[in-house]
Structure formats: C-alpha cells, structure tokens
Chains A and B, each alone.
Chain A
Amino acid sequence: MVDLSVKLGKLQLKNPVMTASGTFGYGTEYCDFIDISRIGGIIVKGTTLRRREGNPYPRMAETPSGMLNAVGLQNKGVDYFIEKINPVIKDIDTNFLVNVSGSTVDDYVITAEKINELDNIPGIELNISCPNVKEGGMAFGTSCPSAASVVREVRKVYKKELMVKLSPNVTNIVDIAQVVEAEGADSISLINTLLGMAVDAEKRKPVLSTITGGLSGPAVKPVALRMVWQVAQVVKVPVVGMGGIMNATDAIEFLLAGASAVQIGTANFIDPTVTVKVIEGIEEYLKRHNFSSVQDIIGALEV
C-alpha cells in the first residue's frame, strides 16, 4: 500500500487530487459518474456575497488544446450556498472548500465570515484572480498592496484553512506569493486562467461577449508548471498546482515541481471521471517507482 495522504496547511487530504473552482459545480453534478468522496478536496464554484448573473452569452470559446471562458462568477450568493447547497454536501466524506470572490474587501470579509460559521467547511480558497469581472477579482491579485490588504482583512475573521488563488497575469508571481504568505495565507493555489482572446474572422467579431476571457486547458500547462516551480522555491506554505492537468502524468509533474496537491479543472468537462483516474494513476506511479508515500515525490524534481 502506498500512502496518498497529504497535509495541506490546516487540512489533511486523503490524496492530493482536488477539483478546481468553477469546473466541478458543487460536486453533486458528477455523482452519476464517480464517487466524489474519493477526491481529496472539492473547491466549489466561485461564491460572492450577493447573487451574480455573470456575463452574457457567448461565454466560451474552444481554442487549440484549451478553452477560453468568461462566465463572470455567475452564482446565487453565499446565503444560497449556506441554505441550499451545504445541507446537501455536508455528509459527503471529502474536504469541501468554498471559493470566495468579491468586488470589495468588505465583500470578501463578510462572505468569509459567513462561511467560517459552517462546521463542515474546513477552508476557503480566496479568489483574487478571476479575470472575468470588471471590478474586484483579478484586480486584487495583480498588485502586492491590494493582494496584501484583502488577505490581511480576511485572515482577521477567517480561522480555518485560508488558501489564496493567484493570477498568472502578473509580471512577477513570486512577489505576490510572498506577500500573500506574509499576510497569513495557509496555502497558495495557482494558476487561475491566463487572460486571452478569440476572434471570429468570418464575422470580424470577438467570439466572447466580453472580448477577453480566461484560458485554461493543456495549452497553459507549461506556464503553470513554471509558476508553481518558482513559487514553491520561495514560500514555506504548501502550494497547490493547477493548469491543464488532463491525466496522472500531468499531476505528477506538478507534484515534482513542488506542489503539495493539485487541482483538476477543464479536464472534468471532457472526462467526468478524470479525478478518480488521476488518483489511481498517481498510486500506480508511486508503486512502479517504489515510493511508499506521495510525500516522497513532492518537490522531488532533480535539477
């Protein structure tokens, strides 16, 4: 038997595979296909203080080895999550983390406070990196002072696992990671989507209603790996890697680069069973290489 469990800040995960926010709904969407309690952690859809309608259709463009989305944090608000969703998921044996987003620091703080009251939710992922909303979102994650202020204020009210999700749309992601760590983040997840654009030449129009959107899928994997590697070199808190993971080999690459856990996002759209396949694939890899624990390969890249 190999030990797949990992410690992630204040969290203990049964394995290092998590789902990325906005790609796995509330988890229940996938119950016909897999036993979602096998997953190490589920990051639920981006949640804001108030209901958001999101951006107009079209919100998605398929691109080479990836896709652009401009959903714009459509969600029914934190109270809806607390009243309608949490009772449904609370007995499922995995770590549910709520991805929290906001337009102002106060929005983030109030939303985090409300989720802090939920006994069964062991953590939040602070989304300071959504590229698809005009106000807030990525704006917080692209400068050190604003990233520092939102993490500092949320840290004051939120006592459990505080994971902070970084934007790749910055000049130096290491600077942001260090600031976030200094303000008390328990872990850092990266990368959110890369800002991109698609054009319909025949119509001479942008494909997305918002013109620009967030790129995800295998196309971003080399960028994500590089950033995870850079950040893992300098921070002491655990790093959660994501960006274009389609299979176990991709996930292992992130672990080797220094990620203590990974998140699977876009791949869920193509194979709703991919999370379980990745968990099994990591286990098979560890056995094949005679490792007794997944901890043995975290940051084990030989350079």
Chain B
Amino acid sequence: MKKFMLDLIVKENKQLNNQYSLLILTSNDDLPEMLPGQFAEVRVDDSPNTFLRRPISINFVDYTTNELWLLVQIVGDGTRKMCSLKPGEILNLILPLGNSFSLPENKTDQLLLIGGGVGTAPMLYWASYLKNKGFEDITVLLGGRSIDNLLQLEDFAQYAKVITTTEDATHGEKGFVTQHSALQTEKFSAIYTCGPTPMMKAVAAYATEKNIFCEVSLENTMACGIGACLCCVTDTKKGHVCVCTEGPVFNITKLKW
C-alpha cells in the first residue's frame, strides 16, 4: 500500500479520562485507505524531549465522515503533547504503515478480539471491519487494571459482544483477560490480541495449547516506521524482522515465543 505523509486537522480531542485521549482527525482531502492493524507515525512538535515520531495504532476510520481516530495514552512528553491538541490544530502523520490482521475464512467463525489497556486501540477498527464484512460472531474481551483502563466500551458494543476483566473487580470479571470464564466455556476459532507483552504471551500460550489461530500486534519502539532504521525488530523463526514492515501483526507460530 502506498504510504503518505499528511497534515491532518484535529476535529476533536475527547479526553476519555486523565490517562487517555481520543483524537479525531480529518482532512480536506479524502483519507487514504487504511486497514485494521495498521498504524501511523505521528510527528510531535514543540515537545523538547520528543525527537522521534510516535507510532500510534489506527483506532477507527470512518470514510463517510472522513475521520481517523487515534487513541492515545499519556506515557511521556510526546503523548502528553498529543493529548493536549486543540480542534483546528494540525498533526503531521505518516500512514498507513505495517500489515493488517488476517481476515478469517468463514463468516460463521467464532472470533475473539482481546485488548489490554491502550492495546485495545486497533481492535475497534478491526471489530467494525469484521462486522461490515459480514462476520457475526465477534467477542471483544477487554482487560485492565481498573475500570479507568477499559476504553470505548460503547463503541465496541456496536460491533461485538463485549466482555471485560479488571484486576480490582471494578468492571466485569476479576483478574486478567486469560482468566476470563469465556476462555473455558467458548470454542473460539481465531484470536487477535494487542496489549502489554506479558498479556499477549499469556494469550498466545492459551491459543497454542488449544490449537487456535492467533495473531498478536506488537508495539516495539520504533524510529522510522518504514523499514529503514531496523530498530524495531522482533526475533522470529526467520531471524530479526522489522515490526514496522513485516508486522505489527504476527501469527504467533512465526515468533520465538
């Protein structure tokens, strides 16, 4: 897919809570095609400690309203600056980058999308995409430390059955996503996950044990995002490969997990 460097306009900055913002971006031109699982490299200006772009998952794309959504967690100065953007301000992005989740084979497949923390970001676009493609049996399992870490529950509910876990029992079942009862009672045919590495590794172990197709979306630190710097590599059975070009989505059978 052709990559673009674009100046997008901040249409809205919704503060979801003190840690997360949803940036709704638009453009005077039609947004390019983007696929679920892909990401953007966002330039952060006027932040003295931020030198490189920030890789941010594509949270949602609405071509009818010409909107691109980015879900941003405040981690450091760069993301804090992004979360303080005001409507009308310009954000420079390189997109779409990386590969995408694989479309399941059968419309009746029982699909499970698991997101942890800000790792839920790519799952919203993926859930909507699957629903629009005619997949009916979609479950989204979101996990977080507390209810404040569960994001966009109402948006997800438009496309999927939503179940949750929190470590402090403030929402859904208590514990980690891999401890959710649905993993014992349901027979999923494919699992897609993004979130903290320990969570994704636990999900991958579950999928391997049950022999379920499983894709993970990695969030390695990056510089260029286009396969030039070779900084974001993950170790695969083929050797070191760039997460930005060969990923961020990997089938777990390719990783040395």
Which residues of chain B have a CB within 8 Å of any CB of chain A?
Answer: 2-5, 43, 48-53, 94, 220-235, 239-240
- Bound-state Cα–Cα, A196 to B230, Å: 19
Total of A-B residue pairs, C-beta within 8 Å: 88
What residue of chain A has the Cβ atom nearest to residue B223's Cβ? A269
Q: Find out whether the CB atom of A57 lies under 8 angstroms from the CB atom of B235.
A: yes
Distance A58 CA – B234 CA, assembled complex (angstroms): 9
Residues A270 and B231 in contact, CB atoms below 8 Å apart:
no
Q: Which of A25, A63, A217 contacts B228 (CB 8 A)?
A: A25
Stretch at the interface among A2-10, A29-37, A171-179, A293-301: A29-37
When distances are taken between beta carbons in the complex, the residues of chain A under 8 Å from B224 are 23, 29, 268-269, 272
The reply to whether B3 and A270 contact each other, CB–CB distance below 8 Å, is: no
Interface residues of A in 165-215 (CB under 8 A from B): none
**Inside 8 A of B4's CB, which chain A residues have their CB?**
32
Contact A69-B235, Cβ < 8 Å, known A58-B221, A270-B53: no
Instruction: Say whether A54 contacts B221, CB under 8 Å.
Output: no
Q: Is the CB of B231 within 8 A of A33?
A: no
Tell me if A60 and B234 are in contact (CB < 8 A).
no
Task: Please give the distance in Å from B244's CB to the nearest CB on chain A.
Answer: 10
Cβ proximity bits A57-94 to B, threshold 8 Å, 1 near / 0 not: 11110111111010100100000000000000000000
Q: Using Cβ atoms and an 8 Å threshold, which residues of chain A touch B235?
A: 56-57
B2 engages A60 (CB within 8 Å): no
Interface: A230 (CB within 8 A): no
User: Given A59-B233, A270-B43, do A29 and B51 touch, yes or no (CB 8 Å)?
Assistant: no
Q: CA–CA, A148 to B52, complex, Å?
A: 37
Contact B240 A29 (CB under 8 A): no
Q: Is the CB of A69 within 8 A of B229?
A: yes
Cα of A64 to Cα of B224 in the assembled complex, Å: 17
CA gap between A63 and B48 in the complex, in Å: 11
Interface residue A229 (Cβ < 8 Å from any Cβ of B):
no
Are A269 and B5 in contact, with the CB atoms below 8 A?
no
Nearest opposing residue in chain A for B231, CB measure: A60
B94 adjacent to A67 (CB under 8 Å):
no
